[in-house]
A and B are shown apart, each in its own frame.
Chain A
């Protein structure tokens, strides 16, 4: 499940606590909405149902490839391209090569985790329609928002605001701009 691109006509409700947001999100999910998203200053412990991240698999694969590449570089450099005979020691020195191999594995896995996150989270993204809402700044401070996309099958101008108001939010706003 990717994060949605909001279109005009999306509804957002503002709450003042994580608990209120969690309750509202679950209630809306139960009434049949599917294109929902939450915005919160801290991670919401029991949020919406979401797919499992595939990031760990990507990190594992990139890490393994990075380790392999590190080993091959050393083998190519010291055992194949330019072997040095130092006191008859083997030019293909597995124990010595393992140290940079370990470091190469960790480095590539960490780079994969970092850049992988920004790719899946679609960041950096300087502009997003929700930023147009007056007071949305507090979503990174102390306010909790629930959003319902206009493309949701159940969403309608008559029903959705009323259902949101029933959850006792601070206010409900309709997104005018959007992509």
Chain B
């Protein structure tokens, strides 16, 4: 996949390897093309923005209602103490993982194609984490006391219990959010400077100038910048593995059948990257069309990500099989009941089979080359995988809690309209933040794409040597 080593001959569209960049892109034209969405909006943008604003209002309303009335307005109750809130938390935080995976993992592996998509993926991570962090806070019941989770010398004399999984989550999620935000902003600085220097009005020039922090692209700045950027990537990489591992410990350190398992950390990480890649597709494919990014987000990108998704899907399927096998092999009655009876044939069997079909069968499409580059198939499959992964979180949480060791305490959980409202509202907030991002922030890493175009000889500088290009 090394872009630099590949011959610079245009490939016919049905043959691999596809080029990571098409066409001739002189630096000024490329910069202006990628900055264009910052200077003008479109009716489609306003329509989507209006819809997602409504979703955000729904979230505000349902959250206010929850805080004012207490979490009794949700459907969860003992024994199903964790339901939609924690399902949503785990789902959103998992989605966040693909951003760091694409931007940090792939930079260390020197995968140059990441430059066209990393900005979108990083923004997705940050907005998914904003949503994720909301749920455990609300689930506390008295969210205004959230600061009790932070170790500070309180007059009460008590401290958080660091042997509990909750402060681990706080540490893992705040670290992840902070590092993702720093990494994203550092990557943005040179592009914000380009926006400053191309701004059509004095006000815009001033605003982007403030955020560009006076970047002028001196050799010294670039050299130190690269050092800091790679350092941050190296620091963010273990977080891809650790954050969802820590989240999975919330479950696996409990003794509940369906939770108490050593496979959980890798199983959760794989599922996280899987759902995150699906969300990247859901955001990237419409963006590619709306902003005309076909030349820089090519079949090479789509195919590479589809292959990653297939790999993650296979590892997830393997985890499902191992879970079932281990429950049988454990010869433990409660374990066997949960995996072999309650989940496939219990009250939530529909969710279980939706999960299994969508998560295990859908990625098998990507064995076929044509499907790996078909935007329609990719988009629909990604939506399917996102739904499947949400079902997986729901199945893990609810089916384990609703039927545990004592039949006398079995209980059927049903979500209320507030549960559904918060879930729909969080999707609205995600869209709202993402739309603001694509409108006001360069959504492609301009300097990285420019660097790549120069390296590949696609900057239009040597037109004579590039004959035959489309």
Chain A interfacial positions (CB closer than 8 Å to B): 1-3, 17-18, 37-44, 47-48, 50, 53, 55-56, 59, 63, 70, 73-74, 77-78, 81-82, 84, 86, 89, 93, 96-97, 99-100, 102-104, 106-107, 109-111, 113-114, 116-118, 120-121, 123-128, 130-131, 137-142
Contact = CB atoms under 8 A, between A and B. Distances in A.
B324 interface: no
Interface string B348-363: 0000000000000000
B218 interface: yes
A16 B82 CA distance: 61
A110 B182 contact: yes
Nearest to A144: B217
B51 interface: no
B313 to A, nearest CB: 29
Contacts of B210: 126
Contacts of A37: 218-220
21 contacts: A41-B190, A41-B217, A43-B225, A55-B227, A63-B235, A73-B151, A74-B151, A81-B159, A102-B238, A103-B172, A104-B171, A106-B179, A110-B179, A113-B235, A118-B213, A120-B224, A121-B220, A123-B221, A125-B214, A128-B216, A142-B28
Residue of B168, B183, B196, B216 ringed by the most chain A CB atoms within 10 A: B216
Interface string B172-187: 1011001100110110
A3 to B, nearest CB: 4
Contacts of A40: 217, 219, 222
Contacts of B227: 53, 55-56, 117
B428 interface: no
A17 B175 CA distance: 41
Nearest to A147: B218
A175 to B, nearest CB: 13
Given A42-B447, A99-B171, 15 more contacts: A53-B223, A56-B227, A59-B231, A74-B151, A81-B157, A100-B162, A100-B167, A103-B174, A104-B175, A113-B232, A114-B186, A117-B228, A123-B213, A123-B215, A142-B28
A-B CB proximity, top 6 nearest: A77-B159, A142-B27, A117-B228, A124-B213, A137-B197, A125-B214
Contacts of A120: 224
A101 to B, nearest CB: 9
A131 to B, nearest CB: 7
Contacts of B178: 107, 110-111
Nearest to A137: B197
Contacts of A41: 27, 31, 190, 194, 217, 447, 450
B236 interface: yes
B251 to A, nearest CB: 15
Contact of A84 (B27, B161, B167): B161
B219 A55 contact: no
Nearest to A37: B218
B155 to A, nearest CB: 13
B26 interface: yes
Contact of B214 (A70, A96, A123): A123
A89 B253 CA distance: 15
A2 B235 CA distance: 26
Contacts of B216: 39, 128, 130-131, 139-140
A114 B31 contact: no
Contact of B168 (A78, A81, A86, A100): A100
A14 to B, nearest CB: 13
Given A107-B175, A111-B178, A113-B232, A141 B220 contact: no
B220 A106 contact: no
B231 A56 contact: yes
B28 A43 contact: no
Contacts of A93: 162-163
A142 B182 contact: no
B245 to A, nearest CB: 9
Contacts of A47: 219, 222-223
Contacts of B160: 77
A44 B223 CA distance: 9
Contacts of A142: 26-28, 31
Nearest to A86: B163
B16 interface: no
Contacts of A97: 162
Residue of A50, A89, A106, A139 ringed by the most chain B CB atoms within 10 A: A106
B226 A43 contact: yes
Nearest to B239: A106
B193 interface: yes
A39 B197 CA distance: 14
Nearest to A84: B161
Contacts of A74: 151, 162
B214 A103 contact: no
B215 A39 contact: no
Contact of A111 (B26, B182, B219, B454): B182
B220 A140 contact: no
A110 B232 contact: yes
Contact of B193 (A38, A118, A126, A140): A140
B179 A3 contact: no
A93 B220 CA distance: 46
Given A99-B171, A140-B194, A117 B225 contact: yes
Contacts of B288: none
Given A97-B162, A142-B28, A3 B221 contact: yes
Nearest to A125: B214
B214 A77 contact: no
A109 B235 contact: yes
Contact of A126 (B27, B161, B168, B214): B214
Contacts of A140: 190, 193-194, 196-197, 215-217
B385 interface: no
A51 to B, nearest CB: 9
